[in-house]
Amino acid sequence: MKVVFHEIFRGVYDYDPAAAKGRIDCIYDELIGHYEFVEPAPATESDLLLVHDQSHVNYVKSKGVIYDVALFAAGGAILAAELAVQGEPAFALIRPPGHHASRNSCWGFCWFNNIAIAVAKQRQLGTVKKVAIVDIDLHFGDGTSNIFQDNPDVSYYHLYNLNGLEQFLSINQDCDLVAVSAGFDMHVEDWGLILSTKDYTTIGKMVAEHASKYCSGKFFAVLEGGYNHRVLGKNVKALLEGFDMR
Protein backbone atom coordinates (compact mmCIF):
# COMPACT_ATOMS: atom_id res chain seq x y z
CA MET A 1 0.00 0.00 0.00
CA LYS A 2 1.40 3.36 -1.08
CA VAL A 3 0.20 6.82 -0.07
CA VAL A 4 0.11 9.51 -2.76
CA PHE A 5 0.83 12.92 -1.24
CA HIS A 6 2.18 16.35 -2.13
CA GLU A 7 3.09 19.18 0.24
CA ILE A 8 0.72 21.49 -1.63
CA PHE A 9 -2.19 19.72 0.09
CA ARG A 10 -1.15 21.15 3.47
CA GLY A 11 -1.89 24.67 2.28
CA VAL A 12 -5.12 26.45 3.21
CA TYR A 13 -6.53 27.30 -0.22
CA ASP A 14 -10.13 28.24 0.70
CA TYR A 15 -12.48 28.87 3.64
CA ASP A 16 -14.43 25.60 3.63
CA PRO A 17 -13.98 22.68 6.08
CA ALA A 18 -12.18 20.54 3.50
CA ALA A 19 -9.50 23.23 3.20
CA ALA A 20 -9.11 23.80 6.94
CA LYS A 21 -5.68 24.13 8.50
CA GLY A 22 -4.41 20.88 10.01
CA ARG A 23 -6.87 18.59 8.25
CA ILE A 24 -4.29 16.93 6.02
CA ASP A 25 -1.64 17.04 8.74
CA CYS A 26 -3.67 14.92 11.16
CA ILE A 27 -3.86 12.17 8.54
CA TYR A 28 -0.25 12.50 7.46
CA ASP A 29 0.93 12.18 11.07
CA GLU A 30 -0.96 8.89 11.48
CA LEU A 31 0.35 7.34 8.25
CA ILE A 32 3.96 8.51 8.02
CA GLY A 33 6.38 5.76 8.95
CA HIS A 34 3.82 3.06 8.20
CA TYR A 35 3.49 3.48 4.44
CA GLU A 36 5.66 4.53 1.53
CA PHE A 37 4.77 8.03 0.33
CA VAL A 38 4.99 8.96 -3.37
CA GLU A 39 4.54 12.37 -4.98
CA PRO A 40 2.16 13.03 -7.88
CA ALA A 41 2.45 15.41 -10.80
CA PRO A 42 -0.44 17.78 -11.54
CA ALA A 43 -3.14 16.60 -13.91
CA THR A 44 -3.06 18.03 -17.41
CA GLU A 45 -5.95 19.90 -18.95
CA SER A 46 -6.54 16.95 -21.28
CA ASP A 47 -6.94 14.76 -18.18
CA LEU A 48 -9.60 17.11 -16.83
CA LEU A 49 -11.44 17.13 -20.14
CA LEU A 50 -11.95 13.37 -19.92
CA VAL A 51 -14.89 14.09 -17.59
CA HIS A 52 -15.38 17.89 -17.51
CA ASP A 53 -16.47 20.43 -20.11
CA GLN A 54 -14.02 23.14 -21.17
CA SER A 55 -16.28 25.80 -19.65
CA HIS A 56 -15.99 24.14 -16.24
CA VAL A 57 -12.22 23.86 -16.50
CA ASN A 58 -12.09 27.56 -17.37
CA TYR A 59 -14.31 28.40 -14.40
CA VAL A 60 -12.04 26.62 -11.93
CA LYS A 61 -8.99 28.12 -13.64
CA SER A 62 -10.37 31.55 -12.74
CA LYS A 63 -10.15 30.61 -9.04
CA GLY A 64 -6.36 31.00 -8.94
CA VAL A 65 -4.71 28.99 -6.17
CA ILE A 66 -7.72 26.67 -5.94
CA TYR A 67 -7.04 25.59 -9.52
CA ASP A 68 -3.38 24.90 -8.75
CA VAL A 69 -4.21 22.67 -5.78
CA ALA A 70 -7.08 20.97 -7.62
CA LEU A 71 -4.72 20.01 -10.46
CA PHE A 72 -2.49 18.18 -7.98
CA ALA A 73 -5.52 16.53 -6.36
CA ALA A 74 -6.62 15.14 -9.71
CA GLY A 75 -3.01 14.17 -10.43
CA GLY A 76 -2.84 12.36 -7.11
CA ALA A 77 -5.91 10.30 -7.95
CA ILE A 78 -4.47 9.52 -11.38
CA LEU A 79 -1.23 8.26 -9.84
CA ALA A 80 -3.12 6.14 -7.29
CA ALA A 81 -5.07 4.51 -10.11
CA GLU A 82 -1.89 3.94 -12.12
CA LEU A 83 -0.29 2.20 -9.16
CA ALA A 84 -3.40 0.11 -8.64
CA VAL A 85 -3.50 -1.23 -12.20
CA GLN A 86 0.17 -2.13 -11.81
CA GLY A 87 -0.80 -4.28 -8.81
CA GLU A 88 0.15 -1.81 -6.05
CA PRO A 89 -2.90 -0.62 -4.06
CA ALA A 90 -2.71 3.07 -3.22
CA PHE A 91 -4.43 5.77 -1.17
CA ALA A 92 -4.47 9.33 -2.48
CA LEU A 93 -4.10 11.71 0.47
CA ILE A 94 -5.38 14.70 -1.48
CA ARG A 95 -7.62 17.74 -1.36
CA PRO A 96 -9.88 19.36 -2.55
CA PRO A 97 -12.30 16.41 -2.62
CA GLY A 98 -14.12 15.67 -5.86
CA HIS A 99 -17.25 13.52 -5.81
CA HIS A 100 -19.68 16.48 -6.03
CA ALA A 101 -18.09 17.77 -9.25
CA SER A 102 -20.10 16.97 -12.39
CA ARG A 103 -19.20 17.64 -16.01
CA ASN A 104 -20.10 21.31 -15.89
CA SER A 105 -20.79 22.15 -12.24
CA CYS A 106 -19.50 21.58 -8.73
CA TRP A 107 -20.39 22.19 -5.10
CA GLY A 108 -19.70 20.73 -1.64
CA PHE A 109 -16.03 21.80 -1.43
CA CYS A 110 -15.28 19.96 -4.72
CA TRP A 111 -13.86 21.41 -7.97
CA PHE A 112 -12.72 18.55 -10.22
CA ASN A 113 -13.95 14.97 -9.85
CA ASN A 114 -10.67 13.31 -8.91
CA ILE A 115 -11.85 9.72 -8.86
CA ALA A 116 -13.82 10.06 -12.10
CA ILE A 117 -10.79 11.54 -13.88
CA ALA A 118 -8.57 8.71 -12.61
CA VAL A 119 -11.04 6.02 -13.69
CA ALA A 120 -11.66 7.64 -17.07
CA LYS A 121 -7.94 7.90 -17.76
CA GLN A 122 -7.29 4.22 -17.07
CA ARG A 123 -10.23 3.30 -19.27
CA GLN A 124 -8.90 5.54 -22.02
CA LEU A 125 -5.49 3.88 -21.75
CA GLY A 126 -7.15 0.47 -22.03
CA THR A 127 -5.72 -0.87 -18.76
CA VAL A 128 -9.24 -1.53 -17.43
CA LYS A 129 -12.76 -1.70 -18.82
CA LYS A 130 -15.20 -2.41 -16.00
CA VAL A 131 -14.81 -0.41 -12.80
CA ALA A 132 -16.73 -0.52 -9.52
CA ILE A 133 -16.72 2.75 -7.59
CA VAL A 134 -17.53 2.55 -3.87
CA ASP A 135 -18.34 5.84 -2.12
CA ILE A 136 -18.18 5.67 1.67
CA ASP A 137 -18.61 9.40 2.27
CA LEU A 138 -21.63 10.60 4.25
CA HIS A 139 -22.91 12.41 1.17
CA PHE A 140 -23.99 10.88 -2.14
CA GLY A 141 -21.43 11.54 -4.86
CA ASP A 142 -23.83 13.12 -7.32
CA GLY A 143 -20.97 14.26 -9.56
CA THR A 144 -19.53 10.78 -9.94
CA SER A 145 -22.96 9.27 -10.46
CA ASN A 146 -23.84 11.88 -13.09
CA ILE A 147 -20.59 11.47 -15.01
CA PHE A 148 -20.94 7.70 -15.36
CA GLN A 149 -24.73 7.33 -15.37
CA ASP A 150 -24.86 6.34 -19.05
CA ASN A 151 -21.80 4.09 -18.92
CA PRO A 152 -22.72 0.43 -18.26
CA ASP A 153 -19.08 -0.45 -17.60
CA VAL A 154 -18.72 1.82 -14.56
CA SER A 155 -20.88 1.05 -11.52
CA TYR A 156 -21.33 3.55 -8.69
CA TYR A 157 -22.43 2.65 -5.16
CA HIS A 158 -22.96 4.96 -2.19
CA LEU A 159 -22.64 3.22 1.18
CA TYR A 160 -25.74 3.01 3.31
CA ASN A 161 -24.73 -0.02 5.38
CA LEU A 162 -22.18 -2.82 5.30
CA ASN A 163 -24.71 -5.34 4.00
CA GLY A 164 -25.40 -3.05 1.07
CA LEU A 165 -21.70 -2.88 0.30
CA GLU A 166 -21.45 -6.66 0.37
CA GLN A 167 -24.37 -6.93 -2.06
CA PHE A 168 -22.88 -4.35 -4.43
CA LEU A 169 -19.55 -6.14 -4.51
CA SER A 170 -21.23 -9.49 -5.07
CA ILE A 171 -22.81 -8.29 -8.32
CA ASN A 172 -19.58 -6.70 -9.57
CA GLN A 173 -17.44 -9.81 -9.72
CA ASP A 174 -16.33 -9.17 -13.29
CA CYS A 175 -14.88 -5.70 -12.67
CA ASP A 176 -11.24 -4.93 -13.50
CA LEU A 177 -10.70 -2.31 -10.79
CA VAL A 178 -12.29 -1.09 -7.55
CA ALA A 179 -12.07 2.64 -6.80
CA VAL A 180 -13.03 4.01 -3.38
CA SER A 181 -14.22 7.54 -2.70
CA ALA A 182 -13.02 7.51 0.89
CA GLY A 183 -14.96 10.03 2.95
CA PHE A 184 -14.88 9.77 6.74
CA ASP A 185 -17.67 12.16 7.76
CA MET A 186 -20.01 9.22 8.45
CA HIS A 187 -18.03 8.51 11.63
CA VAL A 188 -19.78 8.58 15.01
CA GLU A 189 -17.71 11.63 16.01
CA ASP A 190 -18.12 13.45 12.69
CA TRP A 191 -21.17 14.84 10.90
CA GLY A 192 -22.83 11.50 10.18
CA LEU A 193 -22.79 9.91 13.67
CA ILE A 194 -22.99 6.42 12.14
CA LEU A 195 -19.78 4.40 11.58
CA SER A 196 -17.18 3.38 14.15
CA THR A 197 -13.45 3.43 13.48
CA LYS A 198 -13.55 -0.37 13.40
CA ASP A 199 -16.17 -0.21 10.63
CA TYR A 200 -13.61 1.47 8.35
CA THR A 201 -11.27 -1.46 8.86
CA THR A 202 -14.13 -3.80 7.95
CA ILE A 203 -14.88 -1.79 4.80
CA GLY A 204 -11.23 -1.82 3.80
CA LYS A 205 -11.02 -5.57 4.27
CA MET A 206 -14.20 -6.17 2.24
CA VAL A 207 -12.92 -4.07 -0.66
CA ALA A 208 -9.44 -5.61 -0.61
CA GLU A 209 -10.73 -9.17 -0.44
CA HIS A 210 -13.09 -8.55 -3.34
CA ALA A 211 -10.33 -6.98 -5.43
CA SER A 212 -7.97 -9.80 -4.58
CA LYS A 213 -10.50 -12.44 -5.60
CA TYR A 214 -11.95 -10.84 -8.74
CA CYS A 215 -9.71 -7.94 -9.89
CA SER A 216 -6.17 -9.29 -9.48
CA GLY A 217 -5.83 -7.15 -6.36
CA LYS A 218 -6.41 -3.89 -8.27
CA PHE A 219 -7.94 -1.17 -6.10
CA PHE A 220 -7.25 2.35 -4.93
CA ALA A 221 -8.86 5.02 -2.77
CA VAL A 222 -8.96 8.81 -2.72
CA LEU A 223 -9.77 11.11 0.18
CA GLU A 224 -13.15 12.84 0.07
CA GLY A 225 -14.79 14.22 3.26
CA GLY A 226 -14.04 13.91 6.99
CA TYR A 227 -13.84 16.96 9.24
CA ASN A 228 -13.17 16.00 12.87
CA HIS A 229 -9.41 16.33 13.03
CA ARG A 230 -9.24 14.49 16.35
CA VAL A 231 -10.38 11.21 14.79
CA LEU A 232 -9.88 11.68 11.04
CA GLY A 233 -6.32 10.37 10.89
CA LYS A 234 -7.21 7.33 12.96
CA ASN A 235 -10.13 6.53 10.67
CA VAL A 236 -8.00 6.79 7.55
CA LYS A 237 -5.40 4.53 9.10
CA ALA A 238 -8.14 2.05 10.05
CA LEU A 239 -9.31 1.87 6.42
CA LEU A 240 -5.77 1.31 5.19
CA GLU A 241 -5.22 -1.40 7.79
CA GLY A 242 -8.31 -3.11 6.38
CA PHE A 243 -6.87 -2.83 2.89
CA ASP A 244 -3.73 -4.59 4.13
CA MET A 245 -5.75 -7.57 5.45
CA ARG A 246 -6.37 -9.01 1.98
Q: Quick check: 182 and 77 in contact, CB under 8 A?
A: no
Does the N-terminal peptide bond of residue 96 adopt cis geometry, omega within 30 degrees of 0? yes
Distances (CA, A) of 174 to 53, 170, 241: 30, 10, 25
Distance CA 235, CA 2 (A): 17
SS (H, E, C) 6-68: CHHHHCCCCCCHHHCCCHHHHHHHHHECCEEEECCCCCCHHHHCCCCCHHHHHHHHCCCHHHH
The pLDDT value given to residue 246: 62
Distance CA 193, CA 148 (A): 29
- Intervals of the chain under pLDDT 50: none
Paired residues of 154 in beta bridges: 131
Q: Quick check: 222 and 118 in contact, CB under 8 A?
A: yes
Domains and CATH numbers, the chain: 2-243 (3.40.800.20)
pLDDT, tens digit, for every residue of 115-136? 999 999 999 999 999 999 999 9
Percent of the chain with pLDDT strictly greater than 90? 99
The pLDDT value given to residue 245: 79
Q: Is 210 a catalytic residue?
A: no
Query: 52, 100, 139, 187: which one is catalytic?
Result: 100
The pLDDT value given to residue 17: 98
**Three-state secondary-structure class, residue 166:** helix
